[in-house]
Structure 1
Amino acid sequence: MKPLDDAYENGAYIAGAETYPPKWEKAAARFRDSLGARAELSLSYGSGDRQVFDFFNAKGTSKGSLIFVHGGYWKAFDQTYWSHLGAGALASGWSVAMPGYDLCPQVRISEITKQIASAVAKIADRTSGPIALAGHSAGGHLVSRMMDPAILPEAVRRRITRIASISPVADLAPLLETSMNDILGLDAVEARAESLIAMAPPQEAEVKIWVGADERPAFLEQATAQAKAWGSEQTISPQKHHFDVIEALEDPNSDMVRYLTGQ
């Protein structure tokens, strides 16, 4: 083990952690099936098999588009596990897009950032109106990176109105001291370049940080680090841990969905 392995281990501190991925996968499949033709699946935004997004169309004229980017420490999962998290925004009259991306160690984190930028630009091309971004864990890092002027074209960036960074990894330097870096392949230069705390706070979009009160101390510290660096509001969700803090996205009346959809 390396010095910070335990600090960034979530599953060992969540009761029934092993049951969550299969539950997510089944709930996501049921949700996609319930949408019928409104669910457009595996739309390409790049050259790789994982460079695709699922798009869930709002009923009638869409009020905007929510793009959700999943977590998994940049090395696990794809977009198909999370479809049900679009329920809240869809019920609020918004369309929802969920991109996948290549995983470490096949690519570096900086390349994943570029892939998500390509996905956001592609989704922007097929939509009109405001865009909101939400991301969980590594996804919180990725959606926040979209506000770097060097990452996303200005015309697209200016359409992004709100970002929910959920349990984000804002400072990648500590990951150098974890065994997972054998897969991530981070060095000090990339860790600094990809860290949210090293970015200038965005001017175009409002950003709010969410984190569960029952998360590992390292994730509470990471969320606070982004909030302080960016001057953003932070919400600590009571009795929520790293795996269930995202469930608020299913509820159109949750503070998270109401924020993202401008209610």
Structure 2
Amino acid sequence: MGGTLWRGYDKAALDRQINLRARTPEHVEFFARWAEDSRRVRAAADGRLDLPYGDQPMQTLDFFPAGKPDAPLIAFVHGGYWQSLDKGDFSYLAPPFIEAGVAYASINYSLAPGATIPQMVDEIEQAIAWLYENAEDLGFDREGIVVAGHSAGGHLAAMAAVCDWSRRDLPHDLLRGVCAVSGIYQLEPIRLSYQQETLKLDAAAVGACSPQQRLAALSPELAPAILLAVGEEEPEEFIEQQGEFLAAWRGQGLAGAELTLPGRHHFSAIDALGEKGHALHEALCYLAQNGAIS
């Protein structure tokens, strides 16, 4: 038997926490519905698809305008354990935001094993910078950008929250807010799990790309407000990580809030983001429109 690796888990127990698809076999039905609903949206909506924000094949995004130049923007980063899924699978989230007067973008990025997590972090920063610089052409308020993401995308969104944008000659306070759903804020348990075979994380990447280890340099004046959400039926590791990250975030004097989503597992949690009237959707719209947690 192996010894304890993380939070009292041995290797087998940790893998059970991390293996979301095994835990929720019906994930295939969610993937199929997301793809079909998104296909319908792309066919009907006034979107600008496959806009390049870089030179690599996966460095593209889809943009759906809200029809007014002062609209804020939700820039969404998909999950898939940094290895799968696509921006096009999440077009279905666009209509409720557009109806609320919020523009929507869905971002692609290079995936493992062809890309490392540090490369993905850099690409998401590049995409956000491109959106900021092209806001007038696209038709939204560059001072109203909120980055949202689910699962691995929640991790990448949280990395955007701790980014030093001055490295890209952009304003320190570039983001109005960040929303991470079912996010991962410490990468060490991922490195210790079965996912390491594909992701090949080293100690440097764990340190540089774990949002919780990047908080010390943030100031309350410049950091975006952050909204975290996790399903009530998700693995304990995801619930624990959210609570620890929010506590560390608030410990820096930063503005943050969390929601627990009753009756939601990892794959149904993201649907709440696009459900009109749901507390998560309403809170994200408020964050985009006001730069504050409702």
Q: Which of 249, 255, 258 matches 1:230?
A: 249
Match of 1:253 in 2: 277
Offset of residue 217 of structure 1: 1.1
Match of 1:30 in 2: 40
1:185 aligns with 2:200: yes
Sequence identity of aligned pairs in percent?
A: 27
Give the whole-Å Cα distance in 2 for the aligned partners of 1:115 and 1:187. 19
Give the whole-Å Cα distance in 2 for the aligned partners of 1:154 and 1:211. 34
Q: Which of 223, 231, 241 matches 1:212?
A: 231
Give the whole-Å Cα distance in 1 for the aligned partners of 2:181 and 2:171. 22
Q: What TM-score, normalized to structure 2?
A: 0.83
1:42 aligns with 2:50: yes
Segments of structure 2 that go 5 or more residues without pairing to the other structure are: 1-9, 136-140, 251-255, 290-294
Offset of residue 62 of structure 1: 4.4
Residues 90-128 of structure 1 deviation map (CA, whole Å, 9 limit, x = unaligned): 111111111100001111100100000000011111212
For residue 261 of structure 1, give the secondary structure of its aligned residue in structure 2.
helix
Offset of residue 222 of structure 1: 1.7
Larger deviation: 251-260 or 239-248? 251-260
Residues 140-171 of structure 1 deviation map (CA, whole Å, 9 limit, x = unaligned): 11111113343564635523112111111111
Offset of residue 189 of structure 1: 2.0
**Do the aligned partners of 2:65 and 2:103 also contact (CA within 8 Å) in 1?**
yes
Match of 1:113 in 2: 121
1:163 aligns with 2:178: yes
Give the whole-Å Cα distance in 2 for the aligned partners of 1:143 and 1:234. 15
1:73 aligns with 2:81: yes
Offset of residue 249 of structure 1: 2.1
For residue 98 of structure 1, give the secondary structure of its aligned residue in structure 2.
strand
Match of 1:126 in 2: 134
Give the whole-Å Cα distance in 2 for the aligned partners of 1:194 and 1:230. 16
For residue 215 of structure 1, give the secondary structure of its aligned residue in structure 2.
coil
Q: Which of 9, 18, 38 matches 1:8?
A: 18
Segments of structure 1 that go 5 or more residues without pairing to the other structure are: none
Pair 1:82–1:157, CA change in 2 (3 A): farther
Larger deviation: 213-222 or 226-235? 226-235
Offset of residue 13 of structure 1: 2.4
Pair 1:63–1:194, CA change in 2 (3 A): same
- Higher RCO structure (Cα 8 Å, ≥6 apart): 1
How many pairs does the alignment contain?
261
Q: What TM-score, normalized to structure 1?
A: 0.93
1:148 aligns with 2:162: yes
Give the whole-Å Cα distance in 1 for the aligned partners of 2:160 and 2:168. 9
**Which amino acid is 2:104 matched to?**
V
Larger deviation: 154-163 or 244-253? 154-163
